[in-house]
């Protein structure tokens, strides 16, 4: 009796796979990557890359200095709201266009024909920059955490920039090896990561709150403003400019943490029922991360025992200092190890997402076609995996001579990714009628869709300005926020390359595909004139008989 049921399940599964492959074929592509991820796996990748414990731990010191508890707590709530509008607007787009290319492919589909290739080119390069910088921020942050943890039991160990870069290289190699040879276990590591980032992080937050000898009052957590941006006796930016300047710079902690959810789109070609699973993965990963993140952030802030001692911790890591004050060195190292395992998983899946974006961009000739290659044995884009790892390593090299390199890398990641998110959202807002013809099952309706898109674009424009501002005073070669340099190089370089030579050969996704999508035409359906011709042929055959 079980056999017919098995057959029905197998048939249903095959039908789902066929529909996904047909949808991909409508975009002009064949199925190359292995499609065996479900909704939970798709959600898990973005949830793991957002990894609230990663962003909060690595930028907690920055937050305490740049605004303090008030900006960190209130800023988290504000940023979460606006980020959710970006995620919802993106969800509509990925539901309509579920491909690994993500933002650059969306831009090509949604721009007018004349500007389609240019929109894809610019968006692709900003997305590539953001993807590389996110991997840098995560994995370099982990290297710093490892180096800091080593000083707890070995006070003589000095985590110099060179040593930290060496640890960082080892972390990137571990991520590259798992992505190359362990692609079949990524799903299972993803499941582990979901448990760690939900149950594990929740347990950590509750344990910190329960064990803390004393708790800070709510007036401290939500009302205390700290300005530690002045160096060597200089006034901070709150005094030199205004508290509002301090607050917008301090919001980087929340905005950087809630970044990377386009991973659900980049993995859509490996996800079953992608038109529904991918947008749900995008939106739910931001929603759950906002909730879990606020829980963890408040747990840490309420459990600070001595603000000044935490800020000027001998370990150079405020979260580690909070854990030591609450649990002692041994207990703190156990819990800090849990955090580092979470960060390692976050970096692993960031490289996964990064490599898929580069693979898709190479498929459309945005980068050399050499990188459009899937290993026959492992069904993974090995060349782009190691390209992503190499570029991420290079981006961290300024840390050897800059004290604000890590904060700059996180700013680059945030601006690069959000600009690439914003371009297709803006195109869909301006050319909404054409976008409406493409929409998939995740659809807000015309009025709500445009309202959400408008808020999302406005927010992205605002943070693009916020995060290029200097965050330390006085500004020098050591404290320069080189985000504006990196973002400027991509903006000017990509535009100049387009005008000089790329416009002569880069077409982006096939022109006939973009036009068909814009008009809501299914390329897999026989054309009307072909059907009429076939009917005529059949009538002739009958008459001849």
- The predicted-structure confidence for 256-278, as pLDDT tens digits, reads as follows 899 989 888 878 888 888 888 99
Count of beta carbons in the 10 Å neighbourhood of residue 57: 26
Cβ contacts of 414 within 8 Å, gap of 6 or more? 130, 252, 255, 256, 259, 463, 467
Instruction: Report d(CA 477, CA 62) in Å as an integer.
Output: 19
Q: What is the pLDDT of residues 320-331, one digit of tens each?
A: 999 999 999 999
Mean pLDDT of 10-31: 63
Selected residue with higher pLDDT from 103 and 379: 103
Asked if the model's pLDDT at residue 519 lies above 80, the reply is no
Lowest mean pLDDT among 361-375, 420-434, 531-545: 531-545
Count of beta carbons in the 10 Å neighbourhood of residue 32: 17
How distant, in Å, are the alpha carbons of 274, 293, 299, 433 from that of 515?
22, 41, 51, 14
Mean pLDDT of 294-316: 94
Instruction: Report d(CA 416, CA 126) in Å as an integer.
Output: 5
Note the pLDDT of residue 485: 83
Note the pLDDT of residue 269: 80
Mean pLDDT value across the chain = 85
Mean pLDDT of 136-149: 93
Instruction: Report d(CA 53, CA 323) in Å as an integer.
Output: 14
Note the pLDDT of residue 515: 57
Note the pLDDT of residue 53: 94
Selected residue with higher pLDDT from 379 and 345: 345
Note the pLDDT of residue 327: 96
Percent of the chain with pLDDT over 70: 86
Mean pLDDT of 1-16: 45
Band of pLDDT at residue 530, cut at 50, 70 and 90: very low
Band of pLDDT at residue 2, cut at 50, 70 and 90: very low
Produce one character per residue of 323-360: b if its CB has 16 or more CB atoms within 10 Å, e if not: bbbbbeeeebbebbebbbbbbbbbbbbbbbbbbbbbbb
Q: What is the pLDDT of residues 164-183, one digit of tens each?
A: 999 999 999 999 999 998 77
- The closest alpha carbon to 431, from 28, 104, 122, 115, belongs to 115
- The closest alpha carbon to 288, from 262, 266, 258, belongs to 258
Cβ contacts of 191 within 8 Å, gap of 6 or more? 40, 41, 44
Helix or strand run (H / E) with residue 66: strand 66-67
Instruction: Report d(CA 78, CA 433) in Å as an integer.
Output: 31
Residues written for the chain: 545
Note the pLDDT of residue 429: 94
Mean pLDDT of 144-170: 92
Q: Which of the 8 DSSP states describes residue 200?
A: I
Selected residue with higher pLDDT from 481 and 491: 491
Instruction: Report d(CA 46, CA 274) in Å as an integer.
Output: 14
Note the pLDDT of residue 526: 44
Note the pLDDT of residue 517: 56
Q: Give whichever of 3-7, 43-47, 263-267 has the largest mean pLDDT.
A: 43-47
Q: Is 171:383 a contact under the CB 8 Å cutoff? A: no
Note the pLDDT of residue 318: 96
Note the pLDDT of residue 531: 44
Q: What is the pLDDT of residues 74-119, one digit of tens each?
A: 999 999 999 999 999 999 999 988 887 788 889 988 899 889 999 9
Instruction: Report d(CA 131, CA 123) in Å as an integer.
Output: 12
Note the pLDDT of residue 15: 61
Band of pLDDT at residue 520, cut at 50, 70 and 90: low
How distant, in Å, are the alpha carbons of 43, 49, 124, 165 from that of 101?
18, 18, 8, 31
Helix or strand run (H / E) with residue 227: strand 226-227
Q: For residue 462, what are its two tokens?
A: 């605002």
Note the pLDDT of residue 49: 84
Note the pLDDT of residue 418: 93
Note the pLDDT of residue 14: 57
Mean pLDDT of 369-393: 90
Three-class DSSP category at 112: coil
């Amino acid at each position: 009796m079980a056999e017919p049921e098995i057959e029905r399940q197998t048939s249903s599964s095959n039908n789902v796979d066929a529909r996904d492959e047909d949808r991909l074929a409508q975009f002009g592509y064949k199925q190359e990557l292995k499609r065996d991820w479900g909704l939970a796996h798709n959600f898990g990748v973005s949830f793991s890359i957002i990894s609230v414990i990663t962003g909060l731990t690595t930028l907690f010191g920055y937050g305490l200095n740049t605004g303090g508890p008030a900006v960190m707590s209130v800023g988290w709530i504000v940023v979460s709201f606006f980020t959710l509008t970006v995620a919802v607007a993106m969800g509509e787009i990925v539901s309509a266009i579920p491909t690994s290319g993500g933002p650059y492919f969306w831009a090509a589909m949604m721009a007018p024909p004349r500007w389609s290739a240019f929109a894809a080119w610019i968006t692709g390069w900003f997305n590539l920059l953001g993807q590389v910088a996110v991997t840098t921020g995560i994995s370099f942050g982990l290297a710093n955490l490892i180096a800091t943890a080593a000083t707890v039991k070995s006070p003589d160990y000095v985590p110099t920039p060179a040593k930290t870069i060496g640890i960082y290289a080892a972390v990137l190699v571990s991520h590259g090896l798992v992505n190359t040879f362990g692609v079949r276990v990524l799903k299972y590591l993803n499941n582990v990561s979901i448990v760690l980032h939900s149950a594990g992080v929740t347990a950590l937050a509750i344990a910190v709150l329960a064990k803390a000898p004393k708790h800070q009052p709510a007036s401290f957590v939500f009302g205390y403003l700290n300005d530690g941006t002045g160096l060597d006796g200089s006034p901070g930016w709150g005094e030199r400019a205004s508290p509002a300047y301090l607050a917008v710079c301090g919001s980087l902690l929340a905005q950087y943490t809630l970044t990377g959810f386009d991973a659900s789109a980049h993995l859509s070609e490996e996800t079953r029922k992608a038109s529904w699973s991918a947008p749900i993965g995008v939106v739910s990963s931001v929603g759950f991360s906002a909730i879990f993140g606020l829980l963890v952030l408040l747990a840490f802030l309420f459990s600070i025992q001595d603000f000044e001692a935490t800020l000027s911790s001998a370990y150079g890591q405020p979260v580690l200092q909070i854990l030591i004050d609450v649990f002692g060195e041994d207990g703190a190292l156990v819990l800090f190890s849990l955090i580092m395992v979470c960060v390692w998983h976050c970096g692993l899946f960031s490289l996964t997402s990064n490599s898929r974006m580069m693979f898709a961009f190479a498929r459309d000739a945005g980068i050399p076609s050499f990188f459009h290659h899937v290993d026959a044995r492992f069904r993974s884009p090995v060349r782009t995996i190691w390209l992503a790892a190499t570029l991420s390593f290079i981006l961290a090299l300024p840390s050897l001579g800059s004290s604000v390199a890590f904060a700059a890398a996180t700013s680059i990641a945030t601006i690069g990714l959000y600009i690439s998110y914003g371009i297709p959202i803006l195109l869909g807002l301006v050319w909404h009628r054409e976008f409406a013809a493409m929409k998939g099952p995740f659809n807000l309706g015309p009025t709500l869709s445009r309202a959400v898109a408008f808020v999302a674009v406005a927010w992205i424009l605002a943070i693009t300005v916020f995060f290029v501002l200097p965050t330390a005073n006085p500004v020098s070669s050591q404290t320069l926020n080189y985000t504006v340099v990196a973002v400027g190089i991509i903006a000017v370089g990509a535009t100049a390359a387009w005008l000089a030579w790329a416009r002569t050969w880069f077409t982006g996704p096939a022109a006939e595909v973009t036009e068909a999508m814009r008009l809501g035409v299914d390329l897999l359906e026989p054309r009307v004139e072909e059907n009429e011709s076939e009917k005529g042929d059949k009538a002739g055959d009958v008459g001849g008989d």
